[in-house]
Amino acid sequence: MNPNPETQNPGPEATGLATLKIIGVGTAGVSLLETFAGGDFAGAQRVAVNTDALALAASTAPVKIHLESRLLRGLGTGGDAERGRALAEEQYATLKAACTGAGVILIVAGLGGGAGSGVAPVLARAARETGALVLAFVSLPFVCEGNRRQDQARQSLELIRAEADGVVCLPNQKAFKLIDENTSIVDTFRITGGLLTEAVRGVWNLMTRPGLIQIHLADLCALLRDKNSEGVFAFVEASGPTRSKEVVEKLLAHPLLDEGRALAESDAVLVSLMAGCDLSMAEVNRVMEQISRQCERAQVIMGAAVDETLQHRLTVTVIAARHHRAEAPPADTAAPRGARGPGRAPHSGGFLQQREQQVRQHTPGGRRKPDAKFRQQDLPLATLSKGRFEKSEPTFHKGEDLDVPTYFRRGVPLN
């Protein structure tokens, strides 16, 4: 448990480029962390957090935090998220110390197990309290991994959503469309891991590459946060003279975007294009035009950057967020999150000040913002059967589910 070497850092905004930390949580997170060693990510500090000493030992991360207590007898959490959470609360101070000094903290975790699901939400809270922007990249387990893991993952996702600035979530199940019958289980996990890596890389590139049309990180956070959102992402690349057309085709066929439907349903879309020096405005325009056409009601934020190492390839990273429609959020998380969400205007010039204000509200002892308690929660009773359209493809128009009776949506009383 090394204390962080950079605790003295005056703060990310002051130094220009934000200090970035990537924290891998749980066995999946820690092993993913390995892919961030060196290369593009040389500027990032890596921190591994796990309850399982064995998995942690294999990690090359410079900072390792082993959450341990006598209770576990060195056996890890045994897949119990409650244990993971209790452990993390116990060592809250350690986690917070590890987060100190970073401007941006990316949390990478595979949800479903004990450490990932249990620790990640607590870590996200600790990270936020240090004043950093917190983005979580998490994967949900395959359906075949069983109910318990699914439930744990879902609960944990709700908690993380409540704590972190933004969540990008990869349901592993969707990756089934990327693999075929003969893909081995090792390869499958490599692929799903690779997808998460690409998402992190996309965000990393956004921050570090000199952008022709730059996306401020604040845009990204505003996108992922103000929507109380569930982000989906996709990363595609193509080369050759028709590359702009190809990337759009690949995007629209991308299984993680539900073959493009996710774009249509999203409320905000962030598109980042990267290519070599030969990136032309016409290409950018072509890609953006097609994407905008797909997501008519979304707010589209775009960025373009040149990376000479890409040579003739064009890569596009899309992060789409939509209003999160939780069926029955756990009572203790729904309220505080909502309070930060809809009331505030999305990102504006005063973002950093807003941010500071939030941090200030966070730090003095109180764990959540004081205005959180004013938010009235939705009663779960409001969910309504859609009658004969229960099982048919829903019809959405500007975010409204038109299968629900109009009088009901408009709240016209019948008495």
Q: Which of 135, 248, 284, 314 binds another protein (CB under 8 A)?
A: 248
Q: Which of 92, 359, 386, 401 binds another protein (CB under 8 A)?
A: 386
Site map for another protein, 333-372, x if CB under 8 A?
Answer: ----------------------------------------
Residues in Cβ contact with 241 at an 8 Å cutoff, skipping those fewer than 6 apart: none
Q: Counting contacts by CB under 8 A, is residue 397 touching another protein?
A: yes
Considering only the stretches 21-29, 50-58, 203-211, 383-391, report the one whose residues sit in contact with another protein under the rule CB under 8 A.
383-391
Considering only the stretches 95-103, 134-142, 245-253, 348-356, report the one whose residues sit in contact with another protein under the rule CB under 8 A.
245-253
Q: Which residues pair with 151 in a beta bridge?
A: none
In the Cβ-directed half-sphere of 95, how many Cα atoms lie within 13 Å?
Answer: 28
CA dist 400 and 406 (Å) reads 10
In the complex, least distance from residue 405 CB atom to another protein, rounded to whole angstroms:
4
In the complex, least distance from residue 99 CB atom to another protein, rounded to whole angstroms:
42
Strands 133-140 and 166-171: parallel
Query: 352 — phi, psi (to 5°)?
Result: -65, -40
In the complex, least distance from residue 290 CB atom to another protein, rounded to whole angstroms:
5
DSSP H or E run through 318: strand 313-323
CA dist 113 and 320 (Å) reads 26
Q: Which residues pair with 167 in a beta bridge?
A: 136
Binding residue count for another protein, defined by CB under 8 A: 27
CB of 32 closer than 8 Å to CB of 58: no
Q: Which of 7, 348, 395, 399 binds another protein (CB under 8 A)?
A: 395
CB of 103 closer than 8 Å to CB of 125: no
In the complex, least distance from residue 312 CB atom to another protein, rounded to whole angstroms:
21
Q: Which amino acid is at 155?
A: Q
Q: Counting contacts by CB under 8 A, is residue 143 touching another protein?
A: no
Alpha-carbon torsion angle 56, 57, 63, 68, nearest 10: 50
Q: Which of 11, 260, 276, 346 binds another protein (CB under 8 A)?
A: 260
Nearer residue to another protein within complex by CB, 34 or 401: 401
Which one-letter DSSP state was computed for residue 387? G
Binding site for another protein (CB under 8 A): 245, 248-249, 252-253, 259-260, 290, 384-389, 392-393, 395, 397, 402-403, 405-408, 410, 412, 414
